Structure 1
Amino acid sequence: MTNITILGSGFGAMTTVRELRRLKVAAGITVISPRDELHYLSSSVWIPAGVVTGDDLKIPLQRFFARNEVSFVRGAATGLADGGRTVLTDAGRFANDQLVIATGARFLRTLPGIEHALTPCAGIETAEEIARRLRAMTGGTIAVGFATNPNEPGAMRGGPMFEYLFIIDALLRREGRRAAFELVFFNPAARPGARLGPEAVDGMLAEMTKRGISTHLGHKLVRFEPGRVVTEGGDFAADLILFMPGLTGPAWLDHADLPLSAGGMITADAQCRVTARPGVWVVGDVGSYPGPDWLAKQAHQADLQAKAAAANIAATLEGREAVTAFKSELICIIDTLHSGILVYRNPSRNFVSPQLRLFHWAKRAFERQYLRPYR
């Protein structure tokens, strides 16, 4: 039987499984990943405020795999061989007829002293550690910032950092502790979050001013020290540093013989085909794709790429041409704990909503709806 192997168990990987089965692809599907859980990191911003727990966001996939006739291999990719037809893992070698790489990216942890910062999207456990640190603090300065990969400007994840900033502010106010804290937002760009669109950037900066949040913008980061952020434009004290570095490809790509972008991502076309590697596809953060300069590294875009890849695999297996291009679209709700701001962008439109309670509840409802097929 034809085998489709999918590397990863995140948003892009699981959407690929769902789409293949929705399209009635009868091939065998093998998922290779270190874990048989889907971690819904999009809601981890609420862990410090106690809205959700870490366990709420870890969704076991065994029943989903059984319903979709998926063979699961617990293992981590270490490389590829035979032009992608063999996956090398710490659990052995696995052959495939079609390969989908959806392992996600890794953070560029090259800034000196980065061990003094917490990276929220590094995992649910990090969000839990942020919650513990906040509970233990009686006052001080909390610094929140993000940066990008200088060789691939789109390889960043800034939206969650705006959310952490505003949610921490709201949480401290709810607890009656805000006056004991200074919040500082820092970024090497003078106008951070440009991929959201100019109106969104104006809105984020205005919201910071409204909430009494200081900013340190437009200065290249130099290093972190215990209790301090150092930039080329000066330094400032910080008792807690939350920092999202830029993204690059996972380390195992060094042993995969795949074409990589300057930023270390797998290069692909609009159909999610890996350049010059027939039968090898890429979806999500690990890929470098054509598209607008605001093309986001986010779960929604990974889902759209997964849908295109699944449609093209189905066409390929039927002897048809793979012509389905992924849709370029940015949709996010910047949550502020009690309300939210909706940002939407496609090639012809950029919309930013007012801040409304409706969007906080819409984001919570979307989580329940999104996770339903996996529960």
Structure 2
Amino acid sequence: MSTTKRVLVLGGGFAGVEAAIFLRRNEMEVTLVSDRDYFYIYPTSIWIPTGEVTREDVSIPLDKLAVVHGFQLIIDPVSKIEATQKRVTLESGRVMEGYDYLVVAIGQSKIAIPGMGEHSLSICGAPEEATALYGKLDKLIVQGKGKIAMGFGGNPKDSSAVRGGPAFEVLFNVDTYLKRKGIRDNFELTFFAPMEKPGQKMGPKALDMMDKMFTMTHIKKKIGSKIVCFEADGIRFEDGTKLESDLTMFISAGKGHPIIEASDLPLSESGFVLTNEYNEVEGFEGVYAIGDSANLMGPEWRAKQGHVAEVMARNTAYNIFQHSQQIDSRESYIEHLNILCVMDTGNGAAFVYRCEKGSKMIPMPIVGHWMKKGWGWYCKMSKLGKIPRIPGM
């Protein structure tokens, strides 16, 4: 009788895929369940709206990853999680049970604002939305003029669930794109957010630099007032004003996934799975939560990012293996908490880093853009096993 431990991983994003890869390295029998048949590289999807890349360029078929790394793959959305029994029901009605370990990595949901679904698109939502942004921007360019508003929202119950970086990136990329076409003066670009200091997680120096970038690019700001609703021609705010817009991109803050909220898992106030620093769901033997599904511990400036999700995934693979060998050794993600990104502008970038010791934002004209392009290539090739992985990446 085989003594190989069986692990069920839910989710085909950064956390789920990384967990499956590293669990297989420890010779676990792994089944990965995903609601779509490709792994989507969100950090490089920022170039889809300007036509620099396509959805296919920033995607990896999951079946290719499954073959390369040797895990089983099921494309079927999760409809129910019964963590106590480690039993999962899929949308097709198929029941997954009998596993030694369960890893929950199905992501998060978004805080809904009236009209958001009908009148705005997100670069951090369904991949189809990025392609739709490209289509709408292209129509405005054909018209030769327009008003474009891009921003992000907050979650007052969980500061880690705010994703603002991509909003800045797409906005600056659109600015660069319009300048290259020689029609920037015909467009009004506005950044909006409900908080007084959007982007403050990056640190005070970064905030000052962001203000300078907005001034240099002639991008307007509408901040500090709660968003009431989205309309076909703009956004209304609690202060009674309306921001007119022909194209609205908005990244809503995260909240718990509805499947997780309906499960028997312990949840935070915002609906994320409560775990300890080892990503174990305490009181549920052999159950782990990682990535956007998990409640993120740490300082107020902490943020749910792809590299943090992958640290959680690698640690969880290690912790599961050690547990299976009855070895008392575990890895925590707390010491790896930081904000790290190359914030692309289409013609350069800014290196942003923050940890408990401080923060920095370093401009990288021209070369920064190609560094991020290079990372995108590295991400695809390394996950497909075509080039070696850099330790910690």
TM-score bracket for the superposition, by shorter chain length: over 0.9
- Counterpart CA distance in 2 for 1:112 and 1:275 is 39
Query: Judging changes above 3 Å, is the alpha-carbon distance between structure 1 residues 322 and 108 closer, same or farther for their aligned structure 2 residues?
Result: farther
Match of 2:242 in 1: 235
Deviations 1:267-318 (A, max 9, x none): 1111111232221111111110211212211111111111111111111111
- Counterpart CA distance in 1 for 2:163 and 2:105 is 17
Deviations 1:120-166 (A, max 9, x none): 21133211111111111121210111012222122111100000110
For normalisation by structure 1, the TM-score amounts to: 0.95
1:93 aligned residue (92, 95, 113) = 95
Match of 2:186 in 1: 180
- CA shift at 1:265, angstroms? 0.8
- Counterpart CA distance in 2 for 1:28 and 1:110 is 42
Aligned 8 A contact 1:188 1:221 in 2: yes
Match of 1:143 in 2: 149
Deviations 1:77-110 (A, max 9, x none): 1122260511121131111111111111121223
Match of 2:162 in 1: 156
Aligned 8 A contact 1:219 1:231 in 2: yes
Match of 1:368 in 2: 377
- Counterpart CA distance in 2 for 1:243 and 1:200 is 21
Deviations 1:317-345 (A, max 9, x none): 11022521012122101100010000011
Alignment of 1:81-120 (within 5 A): 81=82, 83-91=84-92, 92-95=94-97, 96-120=99-123
Query: Judging changes above 3 Å, is the alpha-carbon distance between structure 1 residues 49 and 226 closer, same or farther for their aligned structure 2 residues?
Result: closer
Aligned 8 A contact 1:158 1:244 in 2: yes
For structure 1, list consecutive stretches of 5 or more residues without a partner in the other structure: none
1:214 aligned residue (211, 217, 220) = 220
Match of 2:390 in 1: none
Query: Judging changes above 3 Å, is the alpha-carbon distance between structure 1 residues 82 and 196 closer, same or farther for their aligned structure 2 residues?
Result: closer
Match of 2:125 in 1: 122
SS of residue in 1 equivalent to 2:363: coil
Aligned 8 A contact 1:36 1:72 in 2: no
- Counterpart CA distance in 1 for 2:343 and 2:95 is 42
- CA shift at 1:367, angstroms? 0.9
- CA shift at 1:113, angstroms? 4.8
Alignment of 1:185-196 (within 5 A): 185-196=191-202
Match of 1:244 in 2: 251
Query: Is residue 62 of structure 1 aligned with residue 53 of structure 2?
Result: no
Match of 1:330 in 2: 339
- Counterpart CA distance in 1 for 2:17 and 2:198 is 31
| Identity, % of aligned positions | 31
For normalisation by structure 2, the TM-score amounts to: 0.91
- Counterpart CA distance in 2 for 1:169 and 1:75 is 39
- CA shift at 1:170, angstroms? 0.6
Aligned 8 A contact 1:21 1:68 in 2: yes
What amino acid maps onto 2:167 in structure 1? M
Aligned 8 A contact 1:148 1:154 in 2: no
- Counterpart CA distance in 1 for 2:270 and 2:152 is 17
- Counterpart CA distance in 2 for 1:263 and 1:329 is 21
Q: How many residues align?
A: 373
- Counterpart CA distance in 2 for 1:82 and 1:302 is 21
Deviations 1:43-64 (A, max 9, x none): 1111122221111112112232
Match of 2:348 in 1: 339
1:17 aligned residue (5, 14, 20) = 20
Aligned 8 A contact 2:23 2:30 in 1: no
- Counterpart CA distance in 1 for 2:145 and 2:331 is 53
- Counterpart CA distance in 2 for 1:150 and 1:336 is 29
- Counterpart CA distance in 2 for 1:356 and 1:28 is 46
Identify the range of structure 1 (193-202 vs 108-117) with the bigger mean alpha-carbon deviation: 108-117
Deviations 1:249-282 (A, max 9, x none): 2111233101111111111111111232221111
- Counterpart CA distance in 1 for 2:83 and 2:361 is 47
- Counterpart CA distance in 2 for 1:124 and 1:289 is 24
Query: Judging changes above 3 Å, is the alpha-carbon distance between structure 1 residues 238 and 63 closer, same or farther for their aligned structure 2 residues?
Result: closer
SS of residue in 1 equivalent to 2:342: strand
What amino acid maps onto 2:73 in structure 1? F
Q: Indicate the RMSD between aligned Cα atoms, in angstroms.
A: 1.5
Match of 2:365 in 1: 356
